[in-house]
Amino acid sequence: MTRILRTIAEVRAWRKTLRPEQTLGFVPTMGALHQGHMSLMQIARQKADIVIASIFVNPLQFGPNEDLSKYPRPIEKDIALLGEARVDALFLPPVAELYPEGASSVVLEEAVSTHLCGASRPGHFRGVTTVVLKLFNIVAPDFAVFGQKDAQQCLVIERMVRDLDVPVEIIRGPIVREADGLALSSRNVYLAPEDRAAAPAIFASLNAAKAAWAAGERNGARLAEIGRARLAQEGRITPQYWEVRDRTSLKPIETVGPEGALFAVAAHLGTTRLIDNLEVSG
Ligand code: PAF
């Protein structure tokens, strides 16, 4: 059974009960767990002696007109899934535990976070880095696992950990997809049936650009055009960005070299915003 810890003091007391040689793996989440999250739990389970997850819908990473209030919170189902995955402990703090009245310190990453989702969601990554550093300070894991679907989030957290000497190894878990290619996301539950039917075009657009790259196209702008054109075939999708970027800095790439590139897309289906990405290299 997964032990539920609701306060920072409870997590720290639980942490002290672990033996010094036991490794601790951590999977931070916002809940509404799906098979993508479960694959991260599995990675942690395989690598660590003890596994802790967190569920915290972090208000600091939502913009004023985003979906904070309607974000799904199926907590009983989530707890059951964590039990099935043999996760040892769950940190489930109330908002006031992480953001007490008067909290006025934040963590800023100022390069990688400015691109892509950082440009379309101002303040989002400031919220992510702040809460993730807090969670790392509370849980003190040996490593933490994040999903590659949020490729930019992985890069921002890796940069923060490097720059601030945080003694936590960051591990990326691969994207998990539905049979038709749609990347698993807690937000997929918002999709109306017609939008759900249209959504695989996002992955299809990434694959169209990958096919062109595999056939020898190396011009970043042309590869992005190919991806955008494939996405535009699905009239229900409103793209926010479709970009070919450096896999580390996220800066635009004119010519894709052997180090490869990240193809990254964000798009709206109705009021739901979805992201996806694909890396090419070689
Ligand atoms: O990816 C998420 O679910 C969140 O951004 C995270 C890393 C748990 C921080 O709130």
What CATH number does the domain containing 119 carry? 3.40.50.620
Q: Is 150 in the pocket of ligand 1 (CB under 6 A)?
A: yes
Q: Residue 247's pLDDT is what?
A: 98
Q: Is 201 in the pocket of ligand 1 (CB under 6 A)?
A: no
Q: Which of 30, 98, 135, 275 to mutate to test the pocket of ligand 1 (most atoms within 8 A of CB)?
A: 30
Q: Is residue 40 part of a domain?
A: yes
Residues 6+ apart with CB under 8 A from 223: 209, 212, 213, 217, 244, 256, 261, 263
Q: Is 131 in the pocket of ligand 1 (CB under 6 A)?
A: yes
Q: Which of 147, 173, 199 represents a domain boundary (last residue)?
A: 173
Q: Tell me how far the alpha carbon of residue 150 lies from the centroid of ligand 1, in angstroms.
A: 9
> Domain of 241?
186-280
Q: Is residue 50 part of a domain?
A: yes
Q: Residue 173's pLDDT is what?
A: 98
Q: Which of 149, 173, 197 represents a domain boundary (last residue)?
A: 173
Mean per-residue pLDDT, 59-80 = 97
Helix (H, G, I), strand (E, B) or coil at 180: coil
Return the residue whose CA atom lies nearest to atom 2 of ligand 1. 29
Share the mean pLDDT of the chain: 98
Residue 126 parent element (H or E):
helix 124-139
pLDDT tens digits for 161-179?
A: 999 999 999 999 999 999 9
Is 32 in the same domain as 143?
A: yes
At 282, the pLDDT band (50, 70, 90 cuts) reads confident
3-state helix, strand, coil in the chain (%, to 5): 40, 20, 40
Q: Compute CA distances 235 → 167, 197, 201, 268, whole Å.
A: 46, 12, 10, 11
Q: Is residue 180 part of a domain?
A: no
Q: Which of 173, 200, 235 represents a domain boundary (last residue)?
A: 173
Q: Is 29 in the pocket of ligand 1 (CB under 6 A)?
A: yes
Is 213 in the same domain as 159?
A: no
Active-site residue (options: 37, 115, 124, 268): 37
pLDDT tens digits for 91-142?
A: 999 999 999 999 999 999 999 999 999 999 999 999 999 999 999 999 999 9
Is 9 in the same domain as 134?
A: yes
Report which of 122, 103, 105 is spatially closest to residue 114, judged by C-alpha positions.
122
Return the residue whose CA atom lies nearest to atom 5 of ligand 1. 128
Q: Is the pLDDT of residue 187 over 90?
A: yes
Q: Is the pLDDT of residue 44 over 90?
A: yes
Is 132 in the same domain as 232?
A: no
Q: Is residue 267 part of a domain?
A: yes
Is 230 in the same domain as 144?
A: no
Report which of 135, 150, 147, 142 is spatially closest to residue 99, judged by C-alpha positions.
135
Report which of 191, 190, 255, 265 is spatially closest to residue 222, judged by C-alpha positions.
255
Is 12 in the same domain as 150?
A: yes
Give the CATH number, domain containing residue 218: 3.30.1300.10
Q: Is 36 in the pocket of ligand 1 (CB under 6 A)?
A: no
Provide the number of structural domains found in the chain: 2
Q: Is residue 181 part of a domain?
A: no
Q: Is residue 33 part of a domain?
A: yes
Is 169 in the same domain as 236?
A: no
Mean per-residue pLDDT, 146-173 = 98
Residues 256/213, Cβ–Cβ less than 8 Å: yes
Residue linked to tokens 């032990």: 3
Is 195 in the same domain as 124?
A: no
Q: Is residue 179 part of a domain?
A: no
Is 57 in the same domain as 131?
A: yes
Is 20 in the same domain as 130?
A: yes
CB atoms within 10 A of CB 45: 19
Let me know if 37 is a catalytic residue. Answer: yes
Is 194 in the same domain as 168?
A: no
Q: Is residue 178 part of a domain?
A: no
Is 133 in the same domain as 44?
A: yes
Q: Is 234 in the pocket of ligand 1 (CB under 6 A)?
A: no
Q: Compute CA distances 85 → 147, 148, 168, 247, whole Å.
A: 17, 20, 22, 31
Return the residue whose CA atom lies nearest to atom 6 of ligand 1. 29
CA distance 43 to 279: 20
Residues 272/231, Cβ–Cβ less than 8 Å: no
